Amino acid sequence: MRISVRVKPGSKSGDRVVANDPYLDVFLKEKPIDGKANEALVRLLREHFGTAPDGVRIISGFGSRIKIVEIGGPEGT
């Protein structure tokens, strides 16, 4: 499954996921320096969706706040 995610790095409210049509808003404490926010995003979404360690990957938007993320692999597993 692919979802659109809007990342809000450097959030003081802590790491959390909020459904907010048309995006899944993800608040991260981590700042977007040296890919740390992307790593935190993947880690948080793995926990949120309960997937395997390789079950979440960023498809597009590596340097953007708006990203397309694949959950569960290309076959939807």
Residues 6+ apart with CB under 8 A from 56: 42, 45, 46, 49, 69, 70, 71
**Rg, the chain, Cα only:** 11
What global pTM score does this model have? 0.90
C-beta of residue 49 within 8 angstroms of C-beta of residue 40: no
At 6-61, the pLDDT tens digits run 999 999 989 999 999 999 999 999 999 999 999 999 999 999 999 998 999 999 99
Euclidean distance between the first and the last CA atom of the chain, given in angstroms as a whole number: 9
